[in-house]
Structure 1
Amino acid sequence: MQERSNRFLAQEPVGKLMGMYAIPCIISLLVAALYNIVDQIFIANATYLGSYGNAANTVVFPLTVIALAIAVLIGDGCCAFVSICLGSGDPESAHRSIGNAIVLCVAASVVLTALYLIFQQPLLTVFGGQINEETFRLSREYFFFLPLGICSLLSQISLVAAMAAINNMIRTYGALDPIFGQAEYAQIPMAVVGIVMKFFQIVISIAVGLAAGCIPIVGYNIGAGLKARARRLFTLLLSAEAAVGAMALLIVEVFPRPLIFLFGAAGESVYYIDFAVHSFRIYLCMMILACVNKGAFIYLQALGKALESTLLSTVREVVFGVSFALLLPVFFGLDGVLYSMPVSDVLTFVLAVFLIHSTYKSLRT
């Protein structure tokens, strides 16, 4: 009976199925991401906080991404495995994996909560909280109110290591800048990059939602041996991801000032506004490739290619994300921090092309 009830995954048009599953994922991720965005908008427009508050929010933000990383690791992995099991006619294994995933999520949440509370001060320091006294004070205060991110499902990828590198390079090379090396402007780069990351979070929420919505469809069809349908869905997904990235790119390149004024720019110096516009246009200039890369990562996972997906994601976030965030500022100062994002996305896409090609090839046989 259960097998018959799931057969529509192998029979309905893949475009219809993608919309059916992806739209709820996108909405849930956007709600979570918007929660964080609205939080920062209120902080920025509080006259007693301003850029200090935004900088503090940026310091704490990576800690929420750690929680997301664990949730995605367990949730997406379980979803892919369950779908493959159902497609191959093994509902018993699917049921067991769901129970195991729930238990693992609860255990991980408890452990993460304990670690955050015990190591609060060193964690805030690692993510750049010591840029100045006021930012660190507000970071500690903020930490005890959105600190764990367990209930906030942020659509961020495993960017924690890169965020740590970026935040510390901002602190280091901002101090060498003739403008931001002055005490009254020191927090501006940290605040601005945090805002840019939040916009990126919104876009990636859509990209992740699109791909996550495909997981049960892909898994079921692969389990049922229907590779042609899985191949058509892959094409549709990559096209949709590219379209999302193109729309985001248009917004940040053409309308950066309206975006930054949402975050309290009216009460800030001209240096804040100029650096914000500059940051939006550079840091997010490869949004199309970032979205396509994300779709490819998750689709590979849905196919059961966990090793390839994990390696590609690790190369993007740790190898490229961290190394370029540390290396490029040596030659380009603060601009080097901004260029680390597009350079990482371009190089990751070069690698992803080979995996995309091999995936299409495997789905033809």
Structure 2
Amino acid sequence: MQSIVSDSYSVHFDKMAFEVLNSHLASHNYSTIFVLVDENTHELCLPQFMSEIAGEYTFEIIEIESGEINKTIETCVGVWEALSELGADRKSLMINLGGGVLTDLGGFVASTFKRGIHFINVPTTLLSMVDASVGGKTGVDLGPLKNQIGVINQPEMVLIVSEFLETLNERQITSGFAEMLKHGLIGDSDYWESLKEVRSINELKNHIFPSVEFKNKVVLQDPTEQNIRKILNYGHTLGHAIESYFLENVNKETLLHGEAIAIGMITEGYLSYRITGLSHEQLEDIKTTFLKYYKKIEFTEKDITAILELLKYDKKNSHGNINFVLLNRIGKAQIDVTISPDLFKQAFAYYME
């Protein structure tokens, strides 16, 4: 499979990924190579990854705890301290082997340690392959508030090894599928229709490349998210608030990112129907498709009020306005739409009806 070229790095796939990695390591005189893992990728992915390394290098393994709840500045401090204790210098390399939480955090740690060391991302979940793999966004959460602290900084390369998907459970796969469906909704109605026909993980693997390619094309047009790149946030304004609320509420089961964003795409689909011209037929298509893959969540009036309160922290806000990405139709998105707050509860009512 061919590689996808971004502005300053490339995304390489499967066998080609390890060939490029080994060539890169051979041509760079790294003092130490650090591999950041969590307890899952340490056990399930690291042995296979290390078996593909050709050559003798000094490796150090740093393990963090998995999960969004650990995507914090405190975890970063622990990794920074480990790097210092293990003698990392500005000629060190960090390889982030894990899902989106780990690659986001690891990229941020590498970008700030000694004002920046090289890093390579090896996403191991479907979500991180099709979303976090492209764009250079790094960072951590501030309490329950998603991705409030971070920088945009590009890796040396991204390596996508589809075999790592075999280590995931069905819920993790389905979470990543939400971001792929989003790519169809905001940019390619034919892709949306083709994804609706996916029946197995092997079929899904064939769609990873077009999802990465689509996101890369968007990012290349707008690396720092001033304009067109904002379309990638469809479903994420309400979705992130929902994810944050379930993360901080001990009485609620934590939602995976894709599960929360799926709800966001239905509710923001309703807003699109009311504001930007999405047809009722396409709105129903969006709702029916997502509810086929994601179980419906019940929201009380209290839940909705608390979720809407979190909207004021959204990163896309400016000048006191909450900015949404909405759909004109499936395959075409519109950025920077402000919404009358009285529609928010109607959107949740539509989701639950």
TM-score over 0.5 (shorter chain): no
Q: Which fold has the larger relative contact order, with Cα–Cα distance below 8 Å and residues 6 or more apart in sequence?
A: 1
The structure that is strand-richer by fraction is 2
The structure that is helix-richer by fraction is 1
Q: TM-score, normalised by structure 1?
A: 0.27
- Whose radius of gyration is greater, 1 or 2? 1
